[in-house]
Amino acid sequence: MGRHSIISPLDGDHPHSSVSAKQHYKMLVLGGGSGGIAMSARMKRMMGAENVAVVEPSEMHYYQPIWTLVGAGAKTAASSGRSTASVMPSGVKWVKSKVEEINPDTNTVRTDDGTEISYEYLIVALGLQLHYERIKGLPDGFEHPKIGSNYSIQTVEKTWNALQNFKGGNAVFSFPNTPVKCAGAPQKIMYLSDSYLRKTGKRSKAKIIYNTSLPVLFGVKKYADSLWEIVKQRDLQVNLRQNLIEVRADKQEAVFENLDKPGETTVIEYEMLHVTPPMGPSLAIKGGPLADEVGWLDVDRDTLQHKRYPNVFGIGDCTNLPTVRTAAAVAAQSAILNRTISKTLKKEKPDKKYDGYTSCPLVTSYNTVILAEFDYNLQPLETFPINQAKERRLMYHMKADLMPHLYWHGLLRGLWGGPGPYRKLLHLGMK
């Protein structure tokens, strides 16, 4: 993958000699996803591009929220990606390597090519890890038709293929027994599949089944009540506390365990299967000094500063912030974290608190969305002066057309975000 190409003669002639390849930055950002790029843009403004570096191995950067629509054929996979080079703030150093180890006691990070980078301040934005391999029969099962997953660029178009080729039978959708990013996505594809099958005249031949490990359909009661109504109206079968443990792709069988009666399993034959993989902490954090007991980055929920290392900060999916992991949460967190860091640099106490704001645009058809916005306490924290628990066309256009634009041209440039990012959007619209 050309990982060593970033070591230019200026960095030392020998990529594998950590002495010659040693680099130092005032602000080192780990991860080039939404949180990492947004914060590196903000840090460039705060301390100058030459003082900031981003460690990220991937050549491509993806706007993942749109994969829900890619899996349903409403957007193309190509539209979700841009080159990492194009989103990296100009002048900021891009270290095209993978983080191997973080040593906060010596303020150093080691990458997979042996380079050691030292820092004064560190922002960890490493996202989370997908674990398809924790489901027996995967990821190999994706080589068979009729199975897909909107959580990976490798498998999202397989979802659309399975939906297009559906003739009749069970269409099955799963939600794993782990924390996940965008907790609404596993059911959004169910509603879209239902809409597609109605549009193509195949709905009467289909039984749509949503098996979730959770004890609820959605964590916030106000939105869950609306979703249960939709489930009833559209004749969708929801089974709670069911966890996907095995896929027999050659036989088109999915095996679920009943979490309330461990050991009790159900085998369901499928004609289409959408898998949401188990997820877990970044392996570069887990088990290291920055992790909590589970493996997530251990940050203060108000300020996003690390609990034990005051020169370390975190943002997004890699943290143990008790909120739902979404791009909207990253947008809200980026403004708070920016404030926390600027105060820390001045040796002052952070004065802005993150309230846990997150948002999940629950796509319920090809032209409607329920816009869920809420805080740490799972209380609605809504932007618009309307009942957001109702399905609305306007919110669909915001999700499908406006948000990607704001992501590429606002969030990633460190220009958009703050408590309730949609509020900022409203203000922009009124200007």
What are the boundaries of each domain within the chain?
23-128+281-359, 132-278
Q: Is-contact 397 425, C-beta < 8 A?
A: no
| pLDDT mean over 254-259 | 98
Low-confidence winner among 16-25, 34-43, 77-86, 187-196 (lowest mean pLDDT): 16-25
| Model confidence at 2: pLDDT above 50 | no
| pLDDT mean over 59-73 | 98
Alpha-carbon distance 203 to 40, whole Å? 47
Alpha-carbon distance 337 to 315, whole Å? 8
23-128+281-359 has CATH 3.50.50.60 classification:
yes
The size of the chain, in residues, is: 431
Catalytic one among 360, 372, 378, 395? 360
What b-and-e string marks burial along 197-219, b requiring 16 or more CB atoms within 10 Å of the CB? beeeeebeebebbbbbbbeebbb
Catalytic one among 182, 272, 273, 279? 182
Is the whole model's pTM more than 0.85, yes or no? yes
What confidence category does residue 56 fall into, taking pLDDT thresholds of 50, 70 and 90? very high
Alpha-carbon distance 110 to 222, whole Å? 46
Q: What pLDDT score was predicted for residue 20?
A: 42
Superfamily of domain 132-278: FAD/NAD(P)-binding domain (3.50.50.60)
If residue 195 lies in a helix (H) or strand (E), which one and from where to where? helix 185-199
DSSP label at residue 411: G
Q: Is-contact 83 59, C-beta < 8 A?
A: yes
| Model confidence at 7: pLDDT above 50 | no
SS3 75: coil
What confidence category does residue 431 fall into, taking pLDDT thresholds of 50, 70 and 90? very low
| pLDDT mean over 294-307 | 98
Q: What pLDDT score was predicted for residue 21?
A: 52
318 is catalytic: no
Q: Is the Cα torsion angle 380, 386, 389, 393 positive or negative in sign? A: negative
Q: Do domains 23-128+281-359 and 132-278 have the same CATH topology?
A: yes
Q: What pLDDT score was predicted for residue 17?
A: 39
| pLDDT mean over 341-358 | 96
182 is catalytic: yes
Mean pLDDT across the chain: 93
> Could you report the per-residue pLDDT of 382-430, keeping only the tens digit for each?
999 999 999 999 999 999 999 999 999 999 999 877 656 666 655 444 3
CB atoms within 10 A of CB 103: 14
Q: Is-contact 227 362, C-beta < 8 A?
A: yes
Q: What pLDDT score was predicted for residue 40?
A: 98
